[in-house]
Amino acid sequence: MKPSEKGWLKEYLEFRKDLLGELTSEKRKSTHPEHSLYRVIQPTGLMYGHAVEVLDFPDQKNWDEKDKMKLLLAESLISSSLLFHDKPISSPEDLSQLMAKTLDSIANFYNNVFPELATPSKTFFGKRKTGLELAEKILDKRIEKTVEFSGNFWTQFFHNSLLFLDIFIFGQWIHTNADRIVSDFFKYEREELRFSVVKIIAAAAHANQKIEFEERKLLDFFLQSAGLPPEKKKEAIEIFERGIEVEVINLPTNNSWLLKKYFLEMAILTIWSDKKVEEKENKFLTRLCKYLDFKDEDLENSMIAIEGFVLEHWEELGYLQNKQDYNEVSERFIRRLTKLAESNKNRIIGEVRESKKLMELLRKAKVGELTEEEKSQIQKLMVTVLKTIPTFVIISLPQRYLTLPVLMKILPSNLFSESLDH
């Protein structure tokens, strides 16, 4: 399959049909479908304008960044439709009908809310295009509107993270009847949400009372891709220059946990852009959390999510490759996970004892040397144990980063002896 060639969407759906079907049952395990959608989207990098985690397609090594982003956008839109679907899927026919409806919705959504992507529903010869054909063509156009993938983390972040707003607005769109009034509302919401991101960038950039060079560049990157009308663009620049207090941002959150999470993580990454976080900036993030009606643990969880994402994909995020920075991020992440593991120590011990294979390997390690394969098994089993901590129901763990030596730093020092002592 080649996402740059005609027919890619049909091949993708065929390849993914079983896993996509699982989403309709996975949502019932979450307290809210927005949490499930975050867990699907966040590890892929799409929220941050990157395509680092694409599913294991046979020939994906030959894909460029735009191919990967196109697949992730398609998957995220479809996942949103499946996770928010409130009727049981009891047969392959039900799933097939839902997928057909979803493809029609994707085509209608972009044709109505993104007029610059409008695509005729008929061919030159008058033949009506299928929902599949329309969706594929429109997704091709949408990704062509993103920035050229330069390898600079921050350029891509502020150009392409707006794709997340497509997914958020689409999640609302699928529950409406697309008449002209509804379409106008969503076009207005699209503009307002993009303008809200400018306010977040401005507030975060002013958090330490001075605008860094990197932060000013971020606004330039963002305005190039936001497509704001001239008067809104002028207002955005004025807000950025003078700054804006959290309490007067007036974010249109619609009580959406997922949208508020996006705003929070945009703020965190803006503050990260100059590679150091000052005490004033930490206080700003705490105030922003309070404004968003989040708790301290929501900020901590977003820090874990972002740091884990960056550490897992360090080699792919070229701009961030600096040994000192890597060590700083790694140390912060290890401290956060160590604290989390300690507070969930009893749960972890219980899960370790439940795993016969893990207990067998731990007993062997106590009396002798393990092979490399056995060490790898312990690493995988311990990551599985960590996933049972409630925080990681929503947040994805960076499995490549969590090597056995790293895990040994994170886990309570007497964990294994206490697990074996029963």
Q: Is 367 within the bounds of a domain?
A: yes
Q: Encode 133-172: b = buried (16+ Cβ within 10 Å), e = exposed.
A: bbbbbbbbebbeebbebeebbbbbbbbbbbbbbbbbbbbb
Residues 401 and 260 in one domain: no
Same domain assignment for residues 348 and 301: no
Q: What are φ and ψ of residue 286, in 5° steps?
A: -65, -40
Judgement on whether residues 265 and 192 belong to the same structural domain of the protein: yes
Please count the structural domains in the chain: 2
Residues 52 and 169 in one domain: yes
Say if residue 368 is in the same domain as residue 295.
no
Domain boundary among 321, 356, 389: 321
Statement to judge: residues 369 and 225 lie in one domain = no
- For the chain, how many helices (H) and strands (E)? 19, 0
Report pTM: 0.85
Residue 99: closest CA among 44, 40, 174: 174
CA distance 407 to 95: 40
Chain centre to alpha carbon of residue 71:
14
In degrees and rounded to multiples of 5, residue 203 shows phi and psi of -65, -45
1 belongs to a structural domain: no
| pLDDT at 321 (0 to 100) | 52
User: Per-10-residue mean pLDDT for the chain, 422 residues long?
Assistant: 86 80 61 85 83 72 83 90 80 84 92 88 82 92 73 63 89 80 86 85 81 68 73 84 81 79 89 74 91 91 89 70 72 92 90 88 81 90 90 87 90 74 63
Residue 299's domain comprises 8-321
Let me know whether 224 and 358 are in one domain.
Answer: no
Q: Is 71 within the bounds of a domain? A: yes
Rg (CA), the chain: 23
How far apart CA 144 and CA 127 sit, in angstroms, is: 25
Do 206 and 199 touch, CB atoms closer than 8 A? no
pLDDT of res. 31: 64
Question: How far apart are the C-alpha atoms of 118 and 111, rounded to whole Å?
Answer: 5
> Which of 321, 354, 384 delimits the end of a domain?
321
pLDDT at residue 153, rounded to an integer = 61
* Inside any domain, residue 336: no
Phi-psi region of 54 (alpha: psi -120 to 50; beta: other; left: phi over 0): beta
**Same structural domain for residues 280 and 156?**
yes
What is the Cα–Cα distance from 363 to 375, expressed in whole angstroms? Answer: 13
The reply to whether 31 falls in a domain is yes
Structural domain includes residue 326: no
* Domain final residue, candidates 288, 321, 354: 321
User: Does 239 share its domain with 374?
Assistant: no
Residue 190 lies in a domain: yes
- Please tell me whether residues 404 and 304 are part of one structural domain: no
Examine the domain organization and report whether 303 and 393 are in the same domain. no
129 lies in the same domain as 253:
yes
pLDDT of residue 336: 92
Task: Report yes or no on 308 lying in a domain.
Answer: yes
